[in-house]
Chain A
Amino acid sequence: MSTIAAIRQGRQGYLLSAPALALYISLLAIPLLLTLVLSFNVFDYSSGINGDAYTLGHYSSLLGDPYFYEIFLRTMWISALTTFLCVVIGVPEAYILSRMGAPWRSIFLILILTPLLISVVVRAFGWSLLLGADGLVNQTLQAFGGSPMKLLYTPFAVVIALVHVMLPFMIIPVWTSLQKLDPAAQQAAMSLGASHFTVMRQVVLPQIMPGVLSGTLIVFGLAASSFAIPGLLGGRRIKMVATLIYDQYLSELNWPMGAAIAVALLLLNLLIMLSWNRMIEGRYKKSLG
């Protein structure tokens, strides 16, 4: 304890964390700062980026164009829906996992984590094989006499693939907070007359809220800035913010505009996540410490 206090007060602490700080500054703070500066630079299609002139033009066109609104709005609802589905699927899954016996629990845990070992691009192509115009799903539909449906390049395809990718990020924090639960508390609740449902709702759920909260933050943040899945499964029409930034940088070659959109996405993400965190934590902080 006293050693830690001494480190906190002296310069030694800064010295010890210098390598990590250097890494953060050079890999995160400086690029972010450069992006921020870039977003204020003047851009002209004939002469390119003018590094000496500054303008608010990119931000004002971002705020003034309904085209951008639509894409930002779509990104937000797709991310929110993905997060919601991850909670609905992931929380019960984590609970079932925590109640499993010795060999099965580790087997299923690894099974849940294996998708993380496969590249997102490969998984996205997997989904496009399944959902394509003559993919497995439509073939099955036709075999039973149905007419084929347009599944690929729809928000549906993006959401389903995002849920698939993000699920482990929901299950792991929830599973961790489930580990801290005293199983006897559930037995106690049952002996006091609670049904299984009441035990879940009043005893288990409130205690794992911190895990659910971190899960939702991770999933929402990753979904809102996801690039490969909307790019491959949303196609040209279902654009999300990350694919829009990509277009600005590489098709339009308008780097300052791309930077302005990236900064806007970052700010929006921060705003949503911080207020969400405040709202949930405020409700549970007092009781869970």
Chain B
Amino acid sequence: MAFVQLEGLGKRYGEIDAVVATNLSVEKGEFVSLLGPSGCGKTTTLQMIAGFVEVSSGRIVLDGRDITHAKPASRGLGVVFQSYALFPHMTVKDNVAFGLRMRKVPTAELQQRVDRVLKLVRLNQHAERYPRELSGGQRQRVALARALVIEPPVLLLDEPLSNLDANLREEMQFEIRRIQREVGITTLMVTHDQSEALSISDRVVVMQAGRITQIDAPYTLYEHPRTEFISGFVGKANLLPGERDGAGVVQVNSGGELTLSLRPEKIDLRDKGQGRLQGHIVSRFFLGSQWLYGVSTPLGELSVVRRNDGSAPLNEGTAVGLDWDATLLRVLTVDEVPA
């Protein structure tokens, strides 16, 4: 049996189903992200695991113990909140020591464990400061240290990086992953940011309107999105009509009834007249490491990403041919959940 097991977990608010019969198994030491747009039920799911929201139906099993109706205090889970939720009237050290004091850990051991975890999050220089004297990233690390010091079986992260600016966010992503690997703690993270979910998770759970629509490793999720919604939510996608030819191979065809997904970076730009599809460039955006082109074709406008290899970019209005490897086309199923 998995370390954390959600069995038919559901939450109703009056007439509204926030989470519908969700099943999920998380193995020990795994880093799993719950990804979805706002209102998809991912935070509610996390809050039910943490014990802050009453469960309407189903069970939560942690390491063989049914914790569905246990009090938050008795679950012993580490929770990191979007707003950090630090105690503003306590120093960094007292914030981190709070959970240990609640457990009546002897002073010497408490001191040692607080020091160790502050070193882990690289904040040992700031132990005597108050939260308001710290930057956003430092506060986030205090919150992480406070959750980790009690050595919880599971770490729950609720949108941990959404209050940080872009540069810091990327840095903290890797920091969280480093710490998670070092401690080897089972982690569940809620996020609406697909790049965050893809970059640091072992598996990504996509949620939509209270239901799980796909669970896969980040690479598989990106390369094989199941539905139209997921292909657009996780990365960019060009949607093309298509059909299977006689040999069962998928081909783009304007009359086909299948919906195909083709990632912008999988399309090659050729000279006019070559390739599978003709068009001309209508827009061009510089993204630093790459160029994003909008190409108008008989099948609609397609996005194409080219690596910035130092050569001159193509101008708007240039006629081009588009080519791709047909094995990279993915057949999407129609969304079973109304978005």
Contact = CB atoms under 8 A, between A and B. Distances in A.
B269 interface: no
Interface in B22-42: none
A269 interface: no
A184 B130 CA distance: 18
Interface stretch (B81-89, B207-215, B309-317, B328-336): B81-89
A289 B77 contact: no
How big is chain B's contact interface, by range?
Answer: 20 to 34
Contact of A191 (B79, B86, B87, B90): B79
B149 to A, nearest CB: 9
Contacts of B146: 188, 192
Contacts of A190: 51-52, 71-73
A207 B89 contact: yes
Contact of B132 (A182, A198, A289): A289
A187 B81 contact: yes
A187 B85 CA distance: 8
B279 interface: no
A189 interface: yes
B91 to A, nearest CB: 8
A185 B85 contact: yes
B118 interface: no
Contacts, number: 74
B3 interface: no
Interface in A263-289: 284, 287-289
B233 interface: no
Interface string B86-121: 111111000000110011000000000000000000
Interface in B131-161: 132, 143, 146-147, 150
A191 B83 contact: no
A184 B83 contact: yes
B103 A193 contact: yes
B196 to A, nearest CB: 20
B169 interface: no
A284 B90 CA distance: 10
Contacts of B143: 188
Contacts of A207: 87-89
A18 to B, nearest CB: 37
A287 B90 CA distance: 6
B132 A191 contact: no
Contact of A189 (B78, B83, B87, B147): B87
A174 to B, nearest CB: 16
A184 B51 CA distance: 13
Contacts of A198: 102
Nearest to A186: B85
A104 B16 CA distance: 23
B150 A193 contact: yes
A193 B102 contact: yes
Main secondary structure of the interface of A (DSSP, over half): helix
B81 A206 contact: no
Contacts of B88: 185, 207, 287-288
A289 to B, nearest CB: 6
B4 interface: no
A202 B98 CA distance: 10
Nearest to A287: B89
Given A187-B52, A187-B72, A287-B130, A192 B99 contact: yes
B289 to A, nearest CB: 37
A184 B150 contact: no
B76 interface: yes
B83 A192 contact: no
Nearest to A205: B89
A195 interface: yes
Contacts of B71: 190
Contacts of A182: 83, 85
A182 B51 CA distance: 18
A203 interface: yes
Contact of A284 (B78, B86, B89): B89
B50 interface: yes
A39 to B, nearest CB: 44
B87 A203 contact: yes
A187 B50 CA distance: 9
A191 B130 contact: no
A191 B102 contact: no
Contacts of A284: 89
A194 interface: yes
Contacts of A188: 79, 81, 85-87, 143, 146
Interface of A: 182, 184-185, 187-195, 198, 202-203, 206-207, 284, 287-289
16 contacts: A184-B82, A184-B83, A185-B85, A185-B87, A185-B88, A187-B85, A190-B71, A191-B50, A191-B77, A191-B78, A192-B99, A193-B73, A193-B74, A193-B99, A193-B103, A203-B87
Given A188-B86, A191-B73, A287-B130, 5 more contacts: A182-B83, A188-B79, A191-B75, A202-B98, A287-B88
Interface of B: 50-52, 71-79, 81-83, 85-91, 98-99, 102-103, 130, 132, 143, 146-147, 150
